[in-house]
Structures are given as structure tokens and as C-alpha cells.
A and B are shown apart, each in its own frame.
Chain A
């Protein structure tokens, strides 16, 4: 065959173009990770910002590469959710070493927190920040949430989510001011001494039911009247011995008093 007999089919260019596109597409898909629908890709600018914040505010205790030190655990693999929870509730950065990091004033802005979270997430795969649909409770069952809450949460946080004491001065905090995102993140990442309730052992649907129940608790339904802190018989006992008996003693003193 002569070179002139190899005739280009008029569709050849199209085929080459298509082949090129398909190859590039497959190659691109193979190279990029299958990101979860809820996590937007962090830009390099965000990662740099996050890295900067980390070096200034976190590296002293968590190590320059977040590998951990005697003052703070490793953050590799904790995920964006953990960072978002700890920093958006003000627990981190820790003001002073203690048995437990208390909730206090938030130091960083929302953008800064996103950047920090993205940076730490980039160090190793871990749970990502739940999206709005993750924490939506429209399909959740309130009663099921109650059963799950009493099985998994009430033993530390009390039946009404008011919190409780743990060993050596630690405590499970009150949930009266937690946002749904914070609730989800806490269950997912198990901050500090709270155990981890990941999405395998406690699927998102169950988490949403629990969140619905906690939101119901936050509405402070008190059918019988003042709830006295929802701490149970202790505050009821204090009330009866102060206001209750006090009122009746006052009445008795009035009855027995001499009349002018």
C-alpha cells in the first residue's frame, strides 16, 4: 500500500478527539479520590491558611506535623469533624492543661475554622464535617431518638441532657446549647473522653433521631412546672427543705404569734 492509500476517514479527527477526551476523563477520575458528596475540595489557599493557623495556635501541644507530643495527642486522622467540633465550641485552643478542656469563648472565625479543619483533614483521612442534610431531622423519629438517647447518652449526659460528673473532675457537659452539627460531630469523633459513635455502629439515621430528641430536650418542656434544673430527686429534696418547709414554718410562726 502506498502512503497515499492510507486515507484519513473524515471521522478520524472526531474519533481521536473523543479518544483523547475519554482517556483524559478516565485518567482524571482515577487520579482524584472519590470525595464524599458533602466535602468540597479545599483550595490550596485554604490549606495554607489552615497550616498557618495550626503552626501559631496548635503546634505547641500537638507537634509541628500534628504528630502529637506529651502535651497533646496526634491529630493525624482525626478528621475535619473533630477540628470543627473542638474549635467551634471554643474548647480548643486549650488555655491551660487540665483534666478536661472546658467550653469557652471561640477564638477563630468560621472561615479560619474551615481552613484549619481542611488542613488537619489533609494530614490523614478522617471523619468530615457533616453537611446540612446529614444533620437534618425531617425524617427522624422522636420516640426512636429517645430510646437511642437513653441507651447511649443518658448515662453520662443525664436523662434531660443537663450533663453529669465523670471521674477525677471530668464531666459530660450539658447539651442545652449544642447545635445539631456539634452534636453529630461529637458522636462521630468522640472528643476527649467521650466514646466514639461512628457511622457504622450508629448509622446517620440513628444520629439524626438522637439529634431530634436532644432538640426536643432543648425546648425545656416542663409539663409539671419549674424543672429545678432537671437533676432529679436531689434538687427536689433541696426545694422541700428550703422553700417547702420554710413556707410552712413561716405559717406556723404566724399562727403562734401573739396578736397586738
Chain B
């Protein structure tokens, strides 16, 4: 039976308001007809509640007796923190049993005759709508809002400006960026030191294929003074060494030293640290979104979503033979931003 469309047709079940097929007759459960089955269900539910109570007590015992430093070797599962295991097993099982018992009670013993409730229209009646509209119109008329445009307009103006202080108050959430994103703490002569050990680096220390995670020598002091990791988040670099003949191009003349190249360690895509250096292909891979850079070819992007090459740090050696920077990076490190030319 097809229905045509009106603008406000309430589409019913195919055969109108009365159900064509009445509610099927109630089917009695075993627990309804057999009192022994009902008793059995009762016993099952009671047992579950009792076991649950015991489990809760077990939790308290485990809490008191098992320290957090105790470990349990469960072979292929691993070496587990005993406290976590026991507390979780006791509390978890006990809680689960409450639920299972309650549901079992509902299914087996509570009355399961289906009952019918009738729906009423969810909206208001037409009379209610008219009365509401009349009440509103009466209120508008009594307020004089409609006849006094001066009041209306100045009210709107005052309310419109009310949120302004709330927004302005947020300004001191942070300073303006200025040009801080364009610079790092690398300077001419900044000595390069290996991460963690802080040991300075000589060119002869690196073999072909070496990878070194490094930073400027004054980084720890600056970090201590500023009380945050902001300097490290931009100044981290990696150094790699390849045979000079393998270098296809660099970002600047004389920026490398005897096959040693220094690049930023911050991916130009969205800023993950990037140090997966594959020494034979000279490719640097970012683990976050798989941007790949060719370090033998000016750090150009060879795969993935990054749009900018990896910035190269120009390096040389100082008069003691240690590797130093020639200057700061010549382009901003890290992700692109609106003001980056």
C-alpha cells in the first residue's frame, strides 16, 4: 500500500492505528511453571551475590597484604604487578557478579508480561500554542519594546558590548609571537655537543654512516635559566657523515665539513623529532607521518606529507678542532606557519 505525500502527513504503519497482528500470547518460562526451576534460579542468584561479597572482602585483603613492589612472573603473559592483578581480579569479578545476578533475577524471576503504553503527541496542542503566543504578545505590548526604538537600540548596543571585556581578558594567556619562531639559540661559534653525554665532537670521531644526536653546548644552562624546554624544542640537531662524493647538493656553499652534515631534528611537517636515518640511502624518515628527506640532496622531501626540506645548520671546526656552527639556521625550523615566507 503506497502513501502519497501531503505536507504534514503522519505516516502510520501500513494498516492504520490498530495492529494487524496482535501481541503474541504470553509464553511461560520454565521458572513460571516449575517451582523447582524458580528455586534453582533463586539459589543461583543468591550464590552470585554471596560470592560477590566475598570478592569485595578479598579486595580488602589484597590491598592490605600485597605491596605495589611485588611482581608475579606469569610466563608468556609477562611479569605483572601482583597488586594490580589481585585487586583487579577480586573487585572486577565481584562487581561483574552483582550485575549478572541482577540480570539473571530479571530474566528468570521477575514478571515478563509485556505491557503496552500509548504514545501521546510529543508537541504542544494547538490551544497551548495560541495561549503561549498570546502571552508573549501581551508581554511585548506591556513592555513597550516594540514602540520605543530608542530603548530597543540602546539595549542591543549595551548587550553587544558586554562580551568584549571577557574576550579582552584572555589576551594575557600568552605573549605575541613576534619573530621568535624564526630563531634558535645557535650562533656563530656555538659548539656542538652530543646529547646526554654533553661531550664535544671532533670530525674524526664520526665514521661514514655515523648518526649523532646533538645540541648547542650552552643548551643545558639556558634550559636551567629559562625553566622550560623551549630552546631544546628548536635547537636539536642530528649530524650524519657520508662520503663527500655522495653529497649531491647542500643548502649552502661550505655548510658541511668533510662529509659531515648537520640538520635540524624537528620535522618540517608538524614538528615530531626525526632521527630515523637510513645510512645507505641517506634518507631521514619521520615516524609520525612518514615524511622522508634526502640528506644527501639538501634535505629535500622525497616522500610523505611534509612540504619543506629539512633545514641544514652550517658547520665548521673551531681552532681547537671541535665542530661548531657557523651561524643560526638560515630558515625557521619546525612546522610551517602563516608568516613564514
Say yes or no: is B71 at the interface (Cβ < 8 Å to chain A).
yes
* Cβ-closest chain A residue relative to B68: A223
For A144, the chain B residues whose CB sits under 8 A away are: 196
Count the B residues whose beta carbon is within 8 Å of the partner chain — how many? 48
What separation, in Å, do the CA atoms of A197 and B283 have in the docked complex?
17
Pairs of residues from A and B, 5 with the lowest C-beta to C-beta distance, nearest first:
A222-B78, A195-B211, A200-B205, A223-B81, A193-B278
Q: Is the CB of A167 within 8 A of B71?
A: no
Are B85 and A225 closer than 8 Å at their CB atoms? Answer: yes
CB distance from A254 to the nearest CB of B (A): 8
Listed in ascending order, the chain B residues whose CB lies under 8 Å from chain A are 27, 29-31, 71, 77-81, 84-85, 103, 107-108, 112, 194-197, 201-202, 204-213, 240, 273-281, 283, 285, 287, 290, 292, 303
A164 lies within 8 A of chain B by Cβ: yes
The verdict on A259 contacting B79 (CB below 8 Å), with A151-B213, A195-B210, A201-B205 known, is no
* Of A151, A193, A258, the contact of B195 (CB 8 Å cutoff): A151
Complex interface bits, A161-175 against B, C-beta within 8 A gives 1, otherwise 0: 000101100101000
Q: With A and B bound together, what is the CA distance between A173 and B211 in angstroms?
A: 18
Across the interface, which residues of A come within 8 angstroms of B31, CB to CB?
259
How far apart are the CA atoms of A198 and B285 in the complex, in Å? 22
The docked-state distance in angstroms from the alpha carbon of A196 to that of B278 is 10
B81 touching A224 by the CB < 8 A rule?
Answer: yes
Point out the residues of chain A lying under 8 angstroms from B197, CB to CB: 203, 206
Known contacts A196-B207, A201-B210, then 11 further A-B pairs from the complex at CB < 8 Å, ordered by chain A residue = A155-B276, A167-B303, A190-B279, A193-B279, A198-B205, A198-B210, A201-B194, A203-B197, A222-B78, A224-B80, A224-B84
Measured between beta carbons, the chain B residues less than 8 angstroms from A147 are 196
A188 to chain B, nearest CB (A): 10
A257 (CB) vs chain B CBs: closest residue: B107
Mostly, the B contact residues are mixed
B206, B207, B287: which has the most chain A beta carbons within 10 Å? B207
Return B31 CB to nearest CB of chain A, in Å.
8
Task: Tell me the interface secondary structure of chain A in the complex.
Answer: loop
Tell me if A166 and B210 are in contact (CB < 8 A).
Answer: no
Judge whether B283 and A155 touch: CB under 8 Å: no
Contact indicator B107/A259 (Cβ below 8 Å)? yes
Question: In residues 215-233 of chain A, which contact B (Cβ within 8 Å)?
Answer: 219-227
Find out whether the CB atom of B281 lies under 8 angstroms from the CB atom of A193.
yes
* Contact call B80/A223, Cβ cutoff below 8 A: yes
Q: A147-B196, A219-B79 are in contact. Are A197 and B211 (CB under 8 A)?
A: yes
Given contacts A155-B273, A193-B278, A259-B29, whether A225 and B80 have CB atoms under 8 Å apart is yes
Instruction: State the Cβ distance, A59 to closest chain B Cβ, in Å.
Output: 21
Report whether A195 and B277 are in contact in the complex, using a CB–CB cutoff of 8 Å. Answer: yes
Q: Quick check: B210 and A225 within 8 Å, CB to CB?
A: no
Minimum CB–CB distance from B87 to chain A (whole Å) comes to 12
Q: Is A148 an interface residue (CB 8 A)?
A: yes
A164 in complex: contacting residue of B103, B273, B287, B303, CB < 8 Å: B287
Question: Contact between B196 and A190 (Cβ–Cβ < 8 Å)?
Answer: no
CA distance A151 to B232 in the complex (A): 13
- Contact A223 to B210, CB < 8 A, known contacts A151-B195, A156-B276, A192-B280: no
Q: List chain B residues, Cβ under 8 A from A190.
A: 207, 209-210, 279
A260 within 8 A of B: yes
